[in-house]
Structure 1
Amino acid sequence: MRILTLLLLLIGSLSCQAQFTIAGIVRDNEHNKPLPFATITTDKGKTLVTDIDGKFNTDATEWFTVAYVGYKKKKIAVIPGKEKYNIFLTQSTQQLKEVVIEQSNSANALLRKVIYRKPYNDPRQRLESFRYKTYNKLLVTANPDSIVGKIDSIYTYKRSRKRFSKIDSTEFKFKKLIEQQHLYQTEKVSEFKYTKKQGLKENVLATRMAGFKQPLYEIIGLTLQSYSVYGNNVELVETKYAGPLADDALLDYQYKILDTVAIDDRRVYVVYFTPKRKYKKRKLEGLLYIDGKNYGIAKAIFRVKNALDITSTHVFSYNEELNLWFPDEKKLKIVKGNNKNDIKILGETIKFDGVEKDKSNREKDASDYVYLISESINFEQEYNIPLTIKHPGVAIDIKQEAINRPENYWNRYRIDTLDNRSMKTYIALDSLVAKKKWEKKIFLGKKIIDGYIPVGIIDIDLRDLIKYNNYEGFRLGLGGITNSKFSNCFRIKGYGVHGTKDNAFKYSMGAAVRIGNFSSSWIGGSYTEDVREIASTSFATDKKTFKIYDPRPINISTFYEHKTWEAYLESKILPKTESHWQVTHSSIDPKFNYIYSPNGRSYSQFNLVTATAAIQWNPFSDFMQTPNGRIEVDKRFPKFTFQYTQALAGILDSDFTFGKLDFRVEMERKYLNGQRTSALIQTGVAVGDTPLTHLYSTSPNNLDRDGVLQRITFAGKNSFETMYFNEFFSSQYAIVQLKHGMSRFTIFNSLKLSPMLVTRFAWGNMENNHEHEGIEYNTLKKGYYESGIEFNEIFKGLGFTAFYRYGPYHLPQLDRNISIKVSFVLNLL
């Protein structure tokens, strides 16, 4: 989910550009086109540039000048009372000789040198180590001067007569509020450490969010701006764009030298870049300030204008000893952009005028005045020093003391003391959030998303309330786990459910003790009496995700009953891993016609003692350590899962000895044009006397009924939609799934399509298949193939899928190879 929406819920609405004393737009006199990044110099000695649309805001009081390469410079006198200026520049044939290098096409030649010298100018490639501290302040606010703030009388017309309806004081109240305080603010002090061997790590020394005693850690982990400007991609507000300094940037962007300026007594070229083909993939526009000697970046401005209007600024300072530009400060501003349709975020409607409209008749709301601004200042920089990073597998580390810093600690690191509006913001929001119980409501919302409802010291598990399958019928029950109100180092969990069709009661009860805080290590045990799908493959490290409905189990009718004692250890002690170690004793009773006959002996029921080790390894993801546990803040691929299970005969009446090795790798690549490709490879091998209950069935999801329409059910996530239940079983198997999602496009109004092309392949083999009696099945030796298309979330989460079965296991009746299913995706955020 986009954790950013939590922040948007807090601020109530998205952003709009603030208007200052003077606002204007610079245009070409002949073609009336806006001139992006024209240079504005004011009577107060300030220099600024216009945005992509040629717009600017300034506090000049007497005059300001406007300059643009290839155009005649113009001086504008400020007229008292006039707030908006339309400025037209006339082209000039005179060019700046000092910006011409290597004759023609100078900008491209300059950029080639910048790209070639990235290893020398990128601090993370050039330096062996560095360390510095950062103070960050994020505000959601508005400029009071931009709001008219008058009280309007609203009239209606009835029978051709004008009648008074009501008083509208919305803007008046909003102006009064914004004159006193900001809408929202956060502060953070961090220490960044980097070594070439261990990478980059952020230690959060202090963090404060207005209104919240405990910060929303997911928001702290958001990537609002890229750390570096030299990467192949630039990330803004959790969206990646093609970088203007990427290795292949000259294919995506066109560059133009606008001017030369002096920064830190160095001659710097001002280069304007724009996309060559805007609609092929996500791209930026902006400015690069390039050192004319070492070709490092002294300053960078990135701009994107879609549903949000985002401006990201990176400022560097020159270190003469190292001949290196090092990050000095960053600034991000988000205002409301243009879109054809209004959008909804957590129930809040954000209204847009539409890019194709010059004027809009809709009334302005608060979101038209609000903007978000984030500023970071670096200090206490040290370079190439002996440095060791503790716990390098965690990208962001937040200690308990960071959320409880006194005011005198903050005053040590703030660049400027808080103004009256900022101080009142903390006081007002602390009171408002407590009064409205927003912190409790957000905490409750996060719990529900995870599948729980807190009731006192217990979190009720929503997954145990109701389910359905063809064997149990409706599975009704209640379950839960104790929360931190009960204890931070001890937990009890359990559930009890009843099946309306099999008329049987199932339950589980267990407890665990925390033995490691940083590693989130728990040791515990449980007892369970329940049923489970035969030949199903599950990894012990997989999280039990919450779903309003679980589509595939609805169609399952073949289960086995188990009574299981379990002792386990779970831990995240190894970097970027989650591991689960368990020993179990189970009594197995198949609830279908089945006899297992290994070595001349027959079993309709049996006992198993197993030891299992499972590890989930996400080597490329970034993790954040918080006082409440570890969070995966940046999910990257590939991800690997390993699991080994060993059953031993002769221990506690265990009947069989076998081993199972399971492996899974998940891969995903998102493209800058909005498309996405994912792959899943999964395999398993069982060796020894393994009953059918513990073998493999490769996730079938098709009912054995005549007629395509009679087989319409809900589609699974990664299941084989044309494979019938209990059709194939294997002791060794491998599956490969490829998915390619196309960019989402609109057919009309609310009908939107995002086609997903899917291909699946399965191979399997069954050793000693004569030992499994009472059930007919086939093997997958010849290879199983199906391909199809998914149209998910067509309307209110509903969609459909269509798949076709082909290859060696293609069936004679054509319709038996076709599967059409209903899909449903519920987005809580």
Structure 2
Amino acid sequence: MKRIFIVLFLWAFVFGFSQSKLTVINEAKGTPISNAVVSCNDKILGKTDDNGFLEFRSKCKSVQITAENYFKESALVEDEMTVTLINASSKTQSIETVILEDKSDPKALEVLRKVNQFFKRNSPQSLDSYAYKSYEKISLDIDQDSISAFNEVFNNNFNLFKKQKTKDSINDVSARKIFSKSKLFLWERAQEYLYSKKFGEKVNILDNRISGLKQPIYEMIALQGNRDKIPDQIKTENRGLYRFYLTDTIEVDDRKNFVIRYREVSYKKTVKRRKFSGYLYIDTDTYGIKKIESISKNKNEGNITSLWTFFNNKWFLAEESVKLRMSRMKMNNSDEFPENTEEHFKKNKKSFGTYAYLSSKYFDYQSPIEEDKKDFKGYTFTVKNADGKTLQQYRTEPLSERERNTYFVIDSLGKKYNIDRKARILTGLINGQVRSGSFDFDIGEIVNYSLYEGFRLGLKAKLNENFNPYFSPDYYFAYGLEDEKFKYGIGIDIKTTLEKNSFFRIEYYDDVNSSGEYYRRLWTFRMRMMNYGNNINNDKYYRYEGASLSYLNDVSNGLTLAFAARRNTEEAKFDYNFRNSGAKFENFNMLFTLKYSPNSTNIMTPQGKSLIDQKYPELYFNFEQSFKALGGDFNYTRFDALFVQNFKTRLGTTGVRLYGGLVLGEAPIWKHFTMNGLATPRRDINFNLTSYLGFATLEGGRFYNDRFIAYYFTHKLPWYFKSIGQNVSSLDFVLRGTIGDMKHPEYHDFKFKKLDHLYQEVGLEWNNFLSSYFNLGVFYRVGYYTTTNFKQNFAFQFKLKLLEF
């Protein structure tokens, strides 16, 4: 769900403050609260009347509301505000001691333990089969209670906006005009969910429409919410992020429910009473989740509500409702254009909050269903329709006038400002490419760095489906500033079908690569991006020139197979001699590659398959066989494999990478394994970027083996602490190790060492380092290869937070 709302920031603006009207009511009874004190920075602004109403003027961005026998609340300042206060009842007061000790109620934790224990049993996917549909609507708009006030101010000052163009940006004025008659953004989506224990899950996008876009953003329309997932508040590994208190037992829909109130740890205040930030309703019989309600620290910042229904003895998601504050819009409240513009504008402006809204309805539940294999073929997601023409069939209520106007207004702006092209650029970054017309440009080829090439500048472009849906030529060229050499390649993909990834490829190339490189053909863009720094300190490169013919086929949603036949001329670009035969050879080989990712979700788009959610376990396997045919000089066999898995327990989340390789027969050193060292003896302190398979303290380009195994363990500790601002950080414990051997090191005449003892390093990663987008890791070499030189054993490492595990 968080990923959905990232898109909405494209439509957000920056705003101000004004005179405000506030209504304070009792959260439980809905009645007004009189004599509630409203203050800012300990200065009283006023008290509410018998109707719970107060009008005040303040430059503060937020105010505090207190009343006798109620918990104190904060609220962001807007023109019209409604704040609810929680009554400090005897039941709530009875857990006050627990709250002041800043720990969760043991009874609440026991209930949550059973929720996790029985989650799979309560999940719809414990059934043999089911089907249901959903209709979702996401929008960006001003607060619904402020629309009439906004229009009044806008209409009174329309001429003023025209005169103020020198003061306000054109975009700001345009946003005001849009809000006067429509929303700023609207997205509708209808989906069908099918599940079978035999065939798995299938999600059909029945229809979709996004305002301002002519073509759908497929990666966006496949995003999902809390459906069939353990909500964050319930997850065992997030216990340290919240405090939970069992407060009541009530009846909802004729079923008894535990009521658990919770708050985020980041809201903690050392002396003052803690505020609750949400409610959990847990069915007392099944321990299924009935309802989750999340309330922001400041009441009018927003709220999130998820509701489940009991059908066929399982808990299906029934509704989701989200309201999140995005930003503020300020408008002049003067009827005439003032002479003293700057001063008068500050005193008379009004502000309106803009919010992101989501409304999801799930319906037409069926279980069991007739299971037909053809209904489940292809990838997890299939797009049935994406032009919005059939949405009327699935809407749970008709569109309002503002919503109908949104499509007309924003679609017009989309054409004017070419929003389609900009959106495709942003979504293309997910797969590591930028689209321009009929060309897709690979952003991973623009700039790279290695010890051999120095900075490598390149351009890689591929003709996409706008050129031809079945034939896709591509080319690339690059230049190394250090080796001062050009590299290039040209190829063409020939698709056999448009329903899945299945294509032949022919290519010719003349390029360089690092010795001992681990094959990454079917790796995701995020994995490849994490591994970019793997060769920064490896200067042992070889040139390869030749051609290849290959075929790739997605056998199923989770299984991909690729075959390739290659004929290359290969030459070491460093001082090297293989068995007194020199450093240049002919190589004819065949490569078989497999990727198995049974739990990942994918969608087929006109651009090809797109990965929506990478889930574990995953297996990557390569088998290469060289032949003394077609002029080839070798007859070696090479294997390598990578297994990735995540485990979640009460003690935290553990990530595992197990990988290894084997070379049989005689092969040059670049077909062996370099052990992925990232360190260099040329620096006083080892500092490097993370690598998917690298070692922070191991010297790069120094060790080679013809067989090895390695492991990478990371464990996220279930302990959270406050970082700068309101951000929360955590720590990961990391252990890496590898061991291998080389059967005939004498075959290779150059300076290197084999790594035939266990090499290990331990580390600690500070996630969300100083509230930045990076994780900082500190690593130390332990075991056999530890030296007396501290700097050789020690290393710092930075990792981009978005790369995750």
Report the TM-score when normalising by structure 1.
0.73
**TM alignment of 1:368-379, pairs within 5 A:** 368-379=353-364
Q: CA deviation at 1:296?
A: 8.2
**TM alignment of 1:171-190, pairs within 5 A:** 177-178=178-179, 180-190=181-191
Q: Cα 1:136–1:509, aligned 2, differ >3 Å: closer, same or farther?
A: same
**TM alignment of 1:598-677, pairs within 5 A:** 602-649=581-628, 651-669=629-647, 677=654
Q: CA deviation at 1:464?
A: 3.8
Specify the code of the residue in structure 1 equivalent to 2:422: K
Alignment pair present for 1:556 and 2:549: no
Q: CA deviation at 1:640?
A: 1.2
Q: CA deviation at 1:626?
A: 3.5
Quick one: distance in 2 between partners of 1:482 and 1:718?
Answer: 32
Quick one: distance in 1 between partners of 2:395 and 2:377?
Answer: 29
Q: Cα 1:744–1:450, aligned 2, differ >3 Å: closer, same or farther?
A: farther
2:694 paired residue number: 719
CA contact (8 A) 2:379 2:557 kept: no
Q: Cα 1:732–1:111, aligned 2, differ >3 Å: closer, same or farther?
A: closer
2:203 paired residue number: 202
Quick one: distance in 1 between partners of 2:764 and 2:306?
Answer: 42
Quick one: distance in 1 between partners of 2:246 and 2:204?
Answer: 38
Local SS of the residue matching 1:8? helix
Q: CA deviation at 1:821?
A: 4.7
Quick one: distance in 1 between partners of 2:177 and 2:129?
Answer: 49
Quick one: distance in 1 between partners of 2:277 and 2:388?
Answer: 39
Local SS of the residue matching 2:568? strand
Deviation digits for residues 802-827 of structure 1, max 9, x if unmatched?
4333322233x414633445636497
CA contact (8 A) 2:140 2:354 kept: no
Q: Cα 1:121–1:469, aligned 2, differ >3 Å: closer, same or farther?
A: closer
Alignment pair present for 1:255 and 2:246: yes
Local SS of the residue matching 1:370? strand
Deviation digits for residues 310-356 of structure 1, max 9, x if unmatched?
422325366xxx6x47748312223239xxxxxxxxxx9999xxxxx
The counterpart of 1:397, out of the listed 381, 385, 388, is: 381
1:99 paired residue number: none
Q: Cα 1:330–1:607, aligned 2, differ >3 Å: closer, same or farther?
A: same
Alignment pair present for 1:269 and 2:272: no
**TM alignment of 1:21-36, pairs within 5 A:** 24-26=24-26
Q: CA deviation at 1:722?
A: 2.3
Alignment pair present for 1:687 and 2:664: yes
1:430 paired residue number: 411
Specify the code of the residue in structure 1 equivalent to 2:763: G
Deviation digits for residues 479-498 of structure 1, max 9, x if unmatched?
32212222221111122233
Q: CA deviation at 1:568?
A: 0.8
**TM alignment of 1:79-118, pairs within 5 A:** none
Quick one: distance in 1 between partners of 2:656 and 2:348?
Answer: 47
Local SS of the residue matching 1:402? coil
Local SS of the residue matching 1:415? coil
Local SS of the residue matching 1:730? coil
Q: CA deviation at 1:638?
A: 2.2
Q: Cα 1:111–1:84, aligned 2, differ >3 Å: closer, same or farther?
A: closer
| Structure 1 unaligned spans of 5+ | 27-35, 43-60, 62-70, 72-81, 94-104, 154-164, 235-239, 338-347, 352-360
Local SS of the residue matching 2:536? helix
Alignment pair present for 1:286 and 2:279: yes
**TM alignment of 1:532-551, pairs within 5 A:** 532-543=513-524, 550-551=532-533
Deviation digits for residues 563-597 of structure 1, max 9, x if unmatched?
12111112222331333211111111112222222
Local SS of the residue matching 1:538? coil
Specify the code of the residue in structure 2 equivalent to 1:767: K
**TM alignment of 1:307-326, pairs within 5 A:** 309-316=302-309, 324=313
Quick one: distance in 2 between partners of 1:746 and 1:88?
Answer: 26
CA contact (8 A) 2:328 2:351 kept: no
Q: CA deviation at 1:745?
A: 5.1
1:441 paired residue number: 422
CA contact (8 A) 1:702 1:819 kept: no
CA contact (8 A) 1:257 1:269 kept: no
Alignment pair present for 1:383 and 2:367: yes
Q: Cα 1:167–1:606, aligned 2, differ >3 Å: closer, same or farther?
A: closer
Alignment pair present for 1:761 and 2:733: no
Specify the code of the residue in structure 2 equivalent to 1:728: F
Local SS of the residue matching 1:273? strand
Residues 144-153 or 530-539, more deviating: 144-153
Superposed CA RMSD in Å reads 4.9
Q: CA deviation at 1:173?
A: 8.8
Quick one: distance in 2 between partners of 1:410 and 1:775?
Answer: 68
Local SS of the residue matching 1:403? coil
CA contact (8 A) 1:198 1:392 kept: yes
2:798 paired residue number: 823
Local SS of the residue matching 1:592? coil
The counterpart of 1:573, out of the listed 543, 549, 555, is: 555
2:138 paired residue number: 138
Deviation digits for residues 786-815 of structure 1, max 9, x if unmatched?
23345575586677654333322233x414
CA contact (8 A) 1:739 1:758 kept: yes
**TM alignment of 1:395-474, pairs within 5 A:** 396-399=380-383, 401-406=384-389, 409-448=390-429, 450-474=431-455
Specify the code of the residue in structure 2 equivalent to 1:696: F
Report the TM-score when normalising by structure 2.
0.74
Quick one: distance in 1 between partners of 2:293 and 2:700?
Answer: 54
CA contact (8 A) 1:13 1:367 kept: no
Deviation digits for residues 38-87 of structure 1, max 9, x if unmatched?
25599xxxxxxxxxxxxxxxxxx9xxxxxxxxx9xxxxxxxxxx996988
Q: CA deviation at 1:402?
A: 0.5
Local SS of the residue matching 1:441? helix
The counterpart of 2:784, out of the listed 808, 814, 823, is: 808
Q: Percent identity?
A: 20
2:233 paired residue number: 241
Quick one: distance in 1 between partners of 2:83 and 2:264?
Answer: 32
Local SS of the residue matching 1:512? strand
Residues 574-583 or 749-758, more deviating: 749-758
The counterpart of 1:776, out of the listed 751, 754, 758, is: 751
1:345 paired residue number: none
Quick one: distance in 2 between partners of 1:14 and 1:171?
Answer: 9
Specify the code of the residue in structure 2 equivalent to 1:524: R
Q: CA deviation at 1:696?
A: 0.7
Q: Cα 1:141–1:784, aligned 2, differ >3 Å: closer, same or farther?
A: same
Quick one: distance in 2 between partners of 1:87 and 1:304?
Answer: 12
The counterpart of 1:485, out of the listed 439, 443, 466, is: 466
Specify the code of the residue in structure 2 equivalent to 1:625: M
Alignment pair present for 1:696 and 2:673: yes
Quick one: distance in 2 between partners of 1:745 and 1:760?
Answer: 25
Quick one: distance in 2 between partners of 1:121 and 1:551?
Answer: 45
The counterpart of 1:522, out of the listed 503, 506, 509, is: 503
Q: CA deviation at 1:657?
A: 1.1
Q: CA deviation at 1:258?
A: 4.6
Specify the code of the residue in structure 2 equivalent to 1:303: S
Local SS of the residue matching 2:631? coil
Specify the code of the residue in structure 1 equivalent to 2:361: S
Quick one: distance in 1 between partners of 2:21 and 2:308?
Answer: 26
Q: CA deviation at 1:652?
A: 0.6
1:589 paired residue number: 571
Q: CA deviation at 1:526?
A: 0.9
Q: Cα 1:489–1:366, aligned 2, differ >3 Å: closer, same or farther?
A: farther
The count of residues paired between Structure 1 and Structure 2 equals 704
Specify the code of the residue in structure 2 equivalent to 1:268: R
Specify the code of the residue in structure 2 equivalent to 1:808: Y
Q: Cα 1:254–1:431, aligned 2, differ >3 Å: closer, same or farther?
A: same
CA contact (8 A) 1:489 1:513 kept: yes
Specify the code of the residue in structure 2 equivalent to 1:602: S
Q: Cα 1:328–1:39, aligned 2, differ >3 Å: closer, same or farther?
A: farther
Quick one: distance in 2 between partners of 1:88 and 1:478?
Answer: 60
